[in-house]
Amino acid sequence: MRKARKRIGLLLAGVVLTMSLPMAAYAKEGYTYNYDWWMDVQYSPDAYSVAGVFSAKELGLDTVLSAPEGLFVYDRYIYICDTGNNRILELEREAPDSLKVKRIIDSFKGGSGSQTFSAPTDVAVTEDGYIYISDKNNERILKLDMELNYVMEFGKPDDATFDQSMSFNPKKISVDSAGRVYCIAANVNKGLMKFEADGEYSGFTGASKVTFDWTDYVWKKLATKAQREQMESFVPTEYDNLYMDADGFIYVCTSNVSSDELMDGDAAPVRRLNMMGNNILVENGNYPVVGDLYFESGGGFQGPSLFTDVTAMENDIYVVLDKVRGRLFAYDDQGRLLYAFGGIGNIDGYFRRPVALDHMGRDLVVLDSLDGSVTVFVPTLFGDRIFDAIDQFQQGKYYESGETWREVLSMNGNFDLAYIGIGRSLLRQERYQEAMEYFTLKWDGDNYSKAFKQYRKEWVEEHILWLIAGFFLVLCVPLAIGKVKAIKHEIDIADIFRQC
């Protein structure tokens, strides 16, 4: 008995050992992942690697960053709003893996009010050389020139649409090419506040539509007044952050979402607003742009991904930052997930409380508020090739795009978009049958239909003679046989033959 037990023990140890070995290998691969057509998690090679993590120590600063909130990248300069220390850091990226403090902005010249900042939360720099700073607790948005001379400020709007009893606390700002300032202010849920270049307030834009379904309406009708007051009121969602892309469209993100709405695709936590303030974000993916599809609670996390910042690159690839699990999600122009990576933790490439995100070319910069650090990510070969393939397709180099997607595929055979990318490239090269194979593999019915339509047309044109012949055979031959039989029958019963 004891011997048997020992043997079982050995066997168990063996099982545990063999099972733990591949698991150890998988743990590394778990950093970057994607969802396939069936919404199963498919781990992927890393698309980004950490070039460096820079905190006060690495930057050679005396005071540690205190709850920094804002991040802006202009050319090769990174601006950080060190909110708790009332200063703005201007960093220069000298090499891919080195950042140097160029200057510390904690005051400016000119102007009528205070010449220092009080809790600056965001900063924006424009091509024509102005720095815009949202000076939150001083209730103003400052416009300074590069030498830190006061140019003008945008204050609390003197307008009926803005509740005058409320204070004006700008949280996030963005400036378009004409100098118009778009601002997200605290406790304002009517959308983005828009200021003209001359400082005049011109109203709200991009407020989300208030939606409720009829069950809510019925409940409200049935409820007493006291109950009604207890119920949640339907107010538009407040935005968390905004980003002006190269085409002048504004990406906004919000974390005021419920998980039900997210999975229905009604929540739209990421939006792309046009000049009219309408959401024009393309969501052609198999699932809506919501970050993680599964949000089991565990490890101290619960609930869906909550986006705290968004940034968009030149080719309409946009990346969103989830503050719950510290993950970055990159989507292409069709709203399909390219890759997701990151996490909460203390190692490089993980964050403690990520708050802001921006990009420098293809590199990503993430600001960690709790850690007081900036993480710079550079794309790996895998990430670079994905960018290349999308770029080439957008430029009309379909053949090259297909070849690049093949390269991506050789690095990650579980990447659905690579198959579809090759298929789309083949489709453009009019190689329909091959394209159909690739679309079939990854369940892309729409593109498959496009390819199949052309293939079917070609097939019919090639085989038209056979088709007509087949049709003729099916239709005319039984008819002819019937006729022959009828004649034969008539001959058989004809009187003239009967007599002989």
Partner 1 sequence: MLASLKKKETYSRYFASLKFSLYCITHPLDGFWDLTHEKRGSLAAANTILFLTLLVRILKLPYTSFMFMMVYWEGINIFLYLASVVFPLALWCVGNWGLTTLFDGKGTLKQVYMATCYGLTPYPLLQLPMIFLSNVITAEEAEFYVVLGSFSMLWVGVLIVAAMMEIHEYKMGKTVLFTIATVFAMLVMVFILLLFFSMISQGVSYFISLYREIIFRL
Distance CA 26, CA 10 (A): 25
- Binding-residue total with partner 1 (CB under 8 A): 12
Based on the shown chain and the rule CB under 8 A, indicate whether residue 446 belongs to the binding site for partner 1. yes
- C-beta of 440: minimal distance to partner 1 in Å? 6
- C-beta of 8: minimal distance to partner 1 in Å? 11
Compose the 425-444 pattern: x for residues touching partner 1 by CB under 8 A, - for all others: ---------------x--x-
Based on the shown chain and the rule CB under 8 A, indicate whether residue 1 belongs to the binding site for partner 1. yes
User: In 3D, which of 225, 276, 222 has the Cα closest to residue 249?
Assistant: 276
Q: Which helix (H) or strand (E) holds 199?
A: none
- C-beta of 94: minimal distance to partner 1 in Å? 51
Closest to partner 1 by CB, 295 or 448: 448
Angle between helices 445-462 and 464-493 (to 10 degrees): 60
The gap between the terminal CA atoms of the chain, to the nearest Å, is 106
Based on the shown chain and the rule CB under 8 A, indicate whether residue 294 belongs to the binding site for partner 1. no
Closest to partner 1 by CB, 40 or 196: 40
Closest to partner 1 by CB, 126 or 454: 454
Stretch near partner 1 under the rule CB under 8 A, chosen from 17-25, 50-58, 240-248, 445-453: 445-453
Q: Which helix (H) or strand (E) holds 378?
A: strand 373-379
Closest to partner 1 by CB, 182 or 448: 448
Based on the shown chain and the rule CB under 8 A, indicate whether residue 445 belongs to the binding site for partner 1. yes
Closest to partner 1 by CB, 166 or 468: 468
- C-beta of 24: minimal distance to partner 1 in Å? 25
The two tokens of residue 17 are 């050992």
- C-beta of 450: minimal distance to partner 1 in Å? 8
Phi, psi of 39 (to 5 degrees): 65, 25
Count of residues in the chain? 500
Closest to partner 1 by CB, 446 or 490: 446
Helices (H) and strands (E) in the chain, counts: 12, 25
Closest to partner 1 by CB, 382 or 455: 455
Strands of 323-362, DSSP E: 327-331, 337-342, 354-360
Burial of 44 (0-12, 13-18, 19+ CB in 10 A): buried
Amino acid identity, position 460: V
Closest to partner 1 by CB, 403 or 434: 434
User: In 3D, which of 196, 188, 181, 168 has the Cα closest to residue 240?
Assistant: 188
Closest to partner 1 by CB, 33 or 443: 443
- C-beta of 462: minimal distance to partner 1 in Å? 15
Instruction: Select the residue interacting with partner 1 from 6, 449, 478, 489 (CB under 8 A).
Output: 449
- C-beta of 448: minimal distance to partner 1 in Å? 7
Based on the shown chain and the rule CB under 8 A, indicate whether residue 38 belongs to the binding site for partner 1. yes
Closest to partner 1 by CB, 1 or 500: 1
Distance CA 106, CA 134 (A): 13
Stretch near partner 1 under the rule CB under 8 A, chosen from 22-30, 162-170, 348-356, 447-455: 447-455
Closest to partner 1 by CB, 109 or 453: 453
Stretch near partner 1 under the rule CB under 8 A, chosen from 107-115, 153-161, 194-202, 448-456: 448-456
Stretch near partner 1 under the rule CB under 8 A, chosen from 56-64, 402-410, 446-454, 461-469: 446-454
342: left (phi over 0), alpha (psi -120 to 50) or beta: left
Instruction: Select the residue interacting with partner 1 from 72, 132, 239, 452 (CB under 8 A).
Output: 452
- The answer to whether the beta carbons of residues 254 and 237 sit under 8 Å apart is yes
Based on the shown chain and the rule CB under 8 A, indicate whether residue 413 belongs to the binding site for partner 1. no
Cα-based distances in Å from 119 to 68, 142, 146, 472: 9, 13, 20, 84
- C-beta of 428: minimal distance to partner 1 in Å? 18
38: CB partners within 8 A, 6+ apart: none
- The answer to whether the beta carbons of residues 99 and 91 sit under 8 Å apart is yes
Distance CA 38, CA 466 (A): 41
Amino acid identity, position 54: F
Instruction: Select the residue interacting with partner 1 from 456, 463, 483, 485 (CB under 8 A).
Output: 456
Based on the shown chain and the rule CB under 8 A, indicate whether residue 461 belongs to the binding site for partner 1. no
Chain position carrying tokens 């416009």: 143
- Site of interaction with partner 1 (CB under 8 A): 1, 38, 440, 443, 445-446, 448-450, 452-453, 456
